[in-house]
Amino acid sequence: MLINPVKRAYLALESWFNISFGTEWNPLYHLGTLSFFLFWVILVSGIYLFIPFHGSLDGAHASVEYMTHDQWYAAGIMRSLHRYASDAVVITVLLHMFKEFASGRYRGFRWFSWVTGIPNLWMVVTIGITGYWLVWDEMAQYLAIGSAQLMDAVPMLSGAMTRNFVSGGMTDRFFILIEFLHLLGQPMLLLFMLWLHVKRLSNVNINPPRGLAIGTFVALLALSLLNPALSHAPANLSMVPKEIHIDWFYLNVYPLLEYWPAQQVWVLTIGVTVLLMMMPWLLPRKDGAKAVVDLEHCNGCGICFDDCPFDAITVQARTDGARYEHEVVVNAALCGACGICAGSCPASNPFRSSRAELKTGIDMPQLSVDKMRHQTRETIATMSGDLKIIVYGCEHGLNVKRLDSDDVQGIRLICSGMLPPTLVEYALKQGADGVMVTGCRHNDCYFRFGNRWTRLRFEGERKPILRARAERERIRIHGAAEPDKREIEQDLEEFRQHLRKLNETVEQAPQATD
């Protein structure tokens, strides 16, 4: 099966990180929460640095130098932590964008999160620019003049900013404005934009795994001790700085001003931004049919509401006069068409009804629970090997049809999270010797929570749980992406041997009784 080369590159990077960090602490699985953690480091260190900082043209550089050298053991380390955490958050945000693009998680119903995420990157960059400005060294002077050139190129502005800097017209009042923007104005706007960015998501977590957070902080602290952040010489508007050590994470467009007019730099910057924001429509993806509620079979329990990854389901007062108090409603504009809700519905129990068609409270038109039940029964009936193993897999992980053989048959789902736990038990009752459930890689579900909810349901920690009567020793879960076929095949071979031993034990049990 062909894979987008960009996605293949990302999956290769993800595999390497899994080897290095393990699946639980792989930073590529926690880029969003890791960014929030870095924001906390930046906030705490920034508050500490604000105490000895003197916000004026004459005092800014001197106070920063005092913190860097005279109090290197405290404020100096805090300054370096502030600097390196700020650089790290740009890396995590860019990696997050690359991951979402490579995985196709920016198109269709996901357009809102992508479009609101692009301005967040520029907000982070502008906060970093004003932060460098506050040091008021030669770097800040370089930024101030470059920023003035960019502002003067905006048609609505007066065009006097550059003259102010060239003539030495900058005052403490203007410096205090920059201080206000960096400490309060820009962070508050970024906070609002981050809220908007995750507005269409549910069960949002902003805390990375503790081990990953501790490891990240230790790495930043070690870097701060080994290579402390230093300033350039004090700013002097009467002189041109001879050498500037650019921080390319934040200041990448400023060197262009030496070769291009400010208007062209604006055209490039705005053009790249607009291009990124238009990506969901330049490379469109059609979503599948949305989830449909059948009130006749919905008791309004709200489990699907709790499990929905995209806040597409709400619980409201009953409208059909049934004996139940509530009903669920699907917002089609927010629905990811993942089917996780169908897997969470208590009515999605294949043992519940012997009628020709199994009706559930919420279901997917393109792949109903009843259709999955029929596929399961028919697939088992066609198998001819000494074992019968069913492999359920999602369409965004490994294509399980590639595993088909005499004793293994794959059934593709929209998402592994749409698989009701009772359907696995049903497959075993229909004659399957074992069932393997595979989806996306562990902690990296295309629909956010599909593989996680499946694992928790099978472990009895999330409703609907796998019933105690189910033969858990005949069930296996293994998340995998398309390049992981060999690993799945190895796991399948181990599963075969395990099932043969179980079958031998069952066959010998009556003899032992005699």
pLDDT digits (tens, 9 = 90+) for 326-359: 999 999 999 999 999 999 999 999 998 766 789 9
pLDDT digits (tens, 9 = 90+) for 60-90: 999 999 999 999 999 999 999 999 999 999 9
Size of the chain in residues: 514
For the whole model, what pTM was predicted?
0.91
The answer to whether the beta carbons of residues 366 and 372 sit under 8 Å apart is: no
Angle, helices 31-50/77-102, rounded to nearest 10 degrees: 160
E strand or H helix that includes residue 313: strand 313-317
The per-residue b/e assignment along 440-455, b for 16 or more CB within 10 angstroms, e otherwise, is bbbbbbbbbbbbbbbb
Q: Which pair of tokens denotes residue 506? A: 């069952």
The answer to whether the beta carbons of residues 361 and 322 sit under 8 Å apart is: no
Give the pairing of strands 434-438 and 475-477.
parallel
Closest by alpha carbon to 340, among 484, 462, 428? 462
Give Rg (Cα) of the chain.
Answer: 29
Q: Tens-of-pLDDT digits for all 514 residues of the chain?
A: 456 788 888 999 999 999 999 989 999 999 999 999 999 999 999 999 999 999 898 899 999 999 999 999 999 999 999 999 999 999 999 999 999 999 999 999 999 999 999 999 999 999 999 999 999 999 999 998 898 889 888 887 666 565 555 555 667 888 888 899 999 999 999 999 999 999 999 999 999 999 999 999 999 999 999 999 999 999 987 888 888 999 999 999 999 999 999 999 999 999 999 999 999 999 888 889 999 999 999 999 999 999 999 999 999 999 988 889 999 999 999 999 999 999 999 999 999 876 678 999 999 999 999 999 999 999 999 998 899 999 999 999 999 999 999 999 999 999 999 999 999 999 999 999 999 999 999 889 999 999 999 999 999 999 999 998 999 999 999 999 988 999 999 999 999 999 999 999 887 766 544 4
The per-residue b/e assignment along 189-211, b for 16 or more CB within 10 angstroms, e otherwise, is ebeebbebbeebbbeeeeebbee
The pair phi, psi for residue 267, each rounded to 5°, is -60, -45
Angle, helices 5-25/210-226, rounded to nearest 10 degrees: 100
Domain-wise residue ranges, the chain:
5-282, 292-499
Classified by CATH at the fold level, domain 5-282 comes out as Cytochrome Bc1 Complex; Chain C (1.20.810)
Q: Which pLDDT value is given to residue 513?
A: 47
Backbone angle region of 397, left / alpha / beta, with phi > 0 → left and psi within -120 to 50 → alpha: beta
